[in-house]
């Protein structure tokens, strides 16, 4: 009987450890989803700065991959930016603390932050 209990306890431990070991953790993305050069970042910042867009009303989580709340007004990409940086033509953006936050239009997720 003691042997049977010991085997059962060992099996529970092994199965329990095995289940935890197989649970994958999804790390938060830390790399921008779009690849912009320093020159492209500068172009975007200069054009958007000249537009004098009102900043977001409150401190937002601007981590990559974060979904932007519907309370934040997203601006369409200016034509001047789209002409010079075509890969972000379909993206939206908002401004916070002099940072330009680029957002994927289809899911409102942050893809890059230009400081």
* pLDDT tens digits, one per residue of 2-11: 554 556 555 5
Tokens for 20, please give them.
């935890």
Other C-beta atoms lying within 10 Å of the C-beta of residue 27? 7
d(CA 87, CA 85): 6
| 103 domain residue, yes or no | yes
State the Cα angle at 59 between 87 and 68, rounded to 5°: 40
pLDDT of residue 11: 53
d(CA 77, CA 34): 15
pLDDT mean across residues, the chain:
82
| 22 domain residue, yes or no | no
Task: Find which of 29-38, 45-54, 58-67, 78-87 is predicted with most confidence, using mean pLDDT.
Answer: 78-87
Q: pTM value?
A: 0.72
State the Cα angle at 18 between 13 and 22, rounded to 5°: 150
* pLDDT tens digits, one per residue of 13-25: 455 544 445 555 5
Q: In the predicted model, what is the mean pLDDT of residues 19-41?
A: 69
| 28 domain residue, yes or no | no
Q: Which domain, by its residues, includes 95? A: 38-114
| 26 domain residue, yes or no | no
Number of domains into which the chain is organized: 1
CATH number (domain holding residue 102): 3.10.450.160
pLDDT of residue 97: 86
For 64, counting Cβ atoms within 10 Å of its Cβ (0-12 exposed, 13-18 middle, 19+ buried), the class is middle
* pLDDT tens digits, one per residue of 63-90: 999 999 999 999 999 999 999 999 999 9
């Amino acid at each position: 009987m003691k042997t049977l209990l010991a085997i059962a306890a060992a099996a529970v431990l092994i199965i329990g450890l095995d289940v935890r070991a197989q649970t994958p953790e999804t790390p938060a993305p830390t790399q921008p989803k779009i690849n912009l050069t320093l020159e492209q970042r500068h172009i975007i910042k200069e054009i958007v700065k000249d537009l004098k867009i009102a900043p977001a009303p409150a401190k937002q989580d601007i981590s990559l991959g974060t979904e932007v709340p519907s309370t934040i007004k997203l601006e369409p990409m200016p034509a001047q930016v789209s002409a010079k940086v075509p890969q972000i033509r379909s993206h939206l953006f908002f401004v916070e603390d002099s940072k330009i936050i680029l957002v994927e239009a289809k899911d409102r997720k942050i893809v890059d932050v230009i400081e």
